[in-house]
């Protein structure tokens, strides 16, 4: 019998039928507690994905298997096997850096992934670096062209082995985005966002701007003080809403929005979602159950037309805000729509801890939108959902 579908409010533009395509194995009850072995069609805790165009290719950061999976075209059927793999010798092996040393085609806990120019960029979190391909890979184990955060492709120490960061180091980078020629990296372990004004072309090239810290050599949570409009705890993902910068600050249980794109270090944001003010940072605003205006560890963010879509990860739901006349009107505002839960006050994985369905979520870490397709990294269910906007 078909499970009952989530009662999505009529103003949310996601299909009420749930995902059109589910990538990753469709589990049965006996296998739910067992990590899935790597194959061309299985995933283990995917954290990020990006659709290159409305028809493909699709790239997924299969985080737990320490690899990238690529589909030549937009997948059209459930559990469709990937065409390419980067980071492992084949589809049936796993392990950090392929159980060897870091290289131009290895990864260790890959997370964020995005198209940049005509190529691809990946946040290689536990190698404390970002990998950039000048051209989109169209085969397995294509070597990256540029590395950021490290001086070369073989080093992988956090902040290059130093206690404090600099403009050319990283500590557990998670999210990545490219917009209008600029590269943005959520340098999560250093509690900051790094901006390159132009797409880097040299290994270890330093960033030009830092947000979340007063300078390039600081890394304290919330800048070493109380939370403010400029500080961060764990920034994770990046989007652009009519050229306004949007960053998820999961550690402060909020989403930060700037008017435009900052051009100076430590620029404060204009608006936060998920909290009543810049000074408050408690999970679900200090109560157990969520609401339409609260967040719990939001990791992912995307834009679909007039909609801002947030992966409210620890509440296992997507929230949607419709763009007002001015983003300043959004301060602390309630979401207009929800997916993955029946009400704004619900938070359990797969709704009441049941088996996953086509429209349920379990610790969704990532969401990106291309054309009419939302690509959702449903990490706790070891799958990626391709869910259509109407």
Domain count, the chain: 1
Mean local confidence (pLDDT), 181-191: 98
Residue 29 has a pLDDT of: 62
Is 90 exceeded by the pLDDT of residue 8?
A: no
Q: Is residue 9 part of a domain?
A: no
Q: Is residue 10 part of a domain?
A: no
Confidence category of residue 300, pLDDT binned at 50, 70, 90:
very high
Are 120 and 110 within 8 A, CB to CB?
no
Q: Is residue 16 part of a domain?
A: no
Mean local confidence (pLDDT), 93-97: 98
Is 70 exceeded by the pLDDT of residue 65?
A: yes
Residue 4 has a pLDDT of: 43
Percentage of the chain surpassing pLDDT 90?
A: 92
Mean local confidence (pLDDT), 150-172: 98
Are 146 and 82 within 8 A, CB to CB?
no
Q: Which domain holds residue 367?
A: 21-388
Task: Give per-residue burial for 28-59: e unless 16+ CB within 10 Å, then b.
Answer: eeeeeeeebebeebbbbbbbbbbbbeeebbbb
Question: In angstroms, rounded to a whole number, what is the distance separating the alpha carbons of residues 3 and 9?
Answer: 18
Q: Is residue 4 part of a domain?
A: no
Phi, psi of 178, deg, nearest 5? -130, 130
Is 50 exceeded by the pLDDT of residue 1?
A: no
Q: Is residue 90 part of a domain?
A: yes
ω before 57 within 30° of 0 (cis)?
yes
Q: Is residue 13 part of a domain?
A: no
- Output DSSP code: residue 30: G
Residue 388 has a pLDDT of: 96
Mean local confidence (pLDDT), 333-362: 94
CATH number for the domain that contains residue 188: 2.120.10.30
Are 169 and 161 within 8 A, CB to CB?
no
Residue 26 has a pLDDT of: 79
Cα 308 to Cα 6, 212, 254, 336, 368, distances in angstroms: 20, 22, 14, 10, 11
CB neighbours of 308 closer than 8 A, spacing ≥ 6? 239, 241, 246, 255, 301, 302, 320, 321, 323
In 13-109, beta strands by DSSP E: 21-23, 48-51, 58-62, 67-71, 84-86
CB neighbours of 161 closer than 8 A, spacing ≥ 6? none
pTM score: 0.96
The mean pLDDT value of the chain amounts to 95
Is 70 exceeded by the pLDDT of residue 31?
A: no
Is 80 exceeded by the pLDDT of residue 284?
A: yes
Residue 25 has a pLDDT of: 76
Q: Give the number of other CB atoms < 10 A from CB of residue 83.
A: 18
Residue 36 has a pLDDT of: 81
Q: Is residue 71 part of a domain?
A: yes
Side by side, the strands of the sheet bearing 21-23 are 21-23, 383-388, 373-378, 364-370
Q: Is residue 218 part of a domain?
A: yes
Sign of CA dihedral 232, 233, 238, 239: negative
Mean local confidence (pLDDT), 287-306: 97
């Amino acid at each position: 019998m078909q499970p009952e579908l989530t009662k999505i409010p009529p103003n949310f533009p996601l299909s009420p039928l749930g995902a059109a395509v589910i990538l990753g194995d469709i589990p049965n009850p006996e296998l739910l507690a067992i990590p899935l072995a790597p194959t061309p069609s299985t995933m283990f805790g995917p954290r990020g994905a990006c659709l290159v165009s409305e028809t493909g290719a699709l790239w997924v950061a299969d985080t737990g298997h320490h690899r990238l999976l690529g589909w030549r075209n937009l997948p059209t059927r459930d559990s469709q096997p990937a065409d390419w793999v980067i980071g492992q010798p084949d589809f049936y092996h796993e392990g950090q850096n392929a159980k060897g040393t870091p290289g131009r085609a290895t990864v260790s806990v890959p997370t964020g992934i995005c198209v940049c120019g005509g190529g691809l960029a990946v946040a290689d979190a536990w190698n404390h670096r970002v990998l950039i391909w000048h051209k989109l890979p169209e085969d397995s184990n294509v070597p990256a062209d540029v590395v950021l955060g490290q001086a070369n492709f073989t080093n992988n120490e956090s902040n290059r082995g130093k206690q404090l960061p600099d403009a050319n180091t990283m500590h557990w980078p998670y999210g990545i985005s490219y917009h209008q020629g600029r590269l943005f990296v959520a340098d999560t372990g250093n509690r900051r966002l790094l901006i390159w004004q132009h797409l880097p072309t040299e290994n270890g090239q330093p960033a030009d701007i830092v947000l979340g810290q007063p300078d390039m050599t600081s890394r304290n949570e919330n800048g070493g003080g109380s939370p403010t409009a400029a500080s961060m705890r764990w920034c994770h993902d990046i989007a652009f809403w009519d050229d306004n910068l949007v960053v998820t600050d999961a550690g402060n249980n909020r989403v930060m929005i700037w008017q435009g794109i900052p051009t100076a270090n430590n620029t404060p944001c204009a608006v936060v979602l998920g909290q009543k003010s810049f000074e408050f940072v408690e999970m679900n605003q200090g109560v157990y159950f969520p609401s339409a205006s609260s967040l719990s560890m939001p990791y992912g963010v995307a834009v679909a037309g007039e909609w801002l879509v947030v992966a409210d990860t620890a509440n296992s739901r997507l929230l949607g805000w419709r763009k007002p006349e001015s983003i300043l009107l959004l301060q602390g505002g309630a979401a207009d729509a929800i997916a993955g839960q029946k009400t704004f006050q619900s938070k359990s994985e797969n709704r009441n801890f049941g088996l996953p369905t086509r429209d349920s979520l379990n610790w969704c870490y990532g969401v990106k939108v291309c054309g009419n397709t939302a690509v959702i990294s449903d990490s706790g269910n070891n799958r990626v959902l391709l869910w259509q906007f109407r």
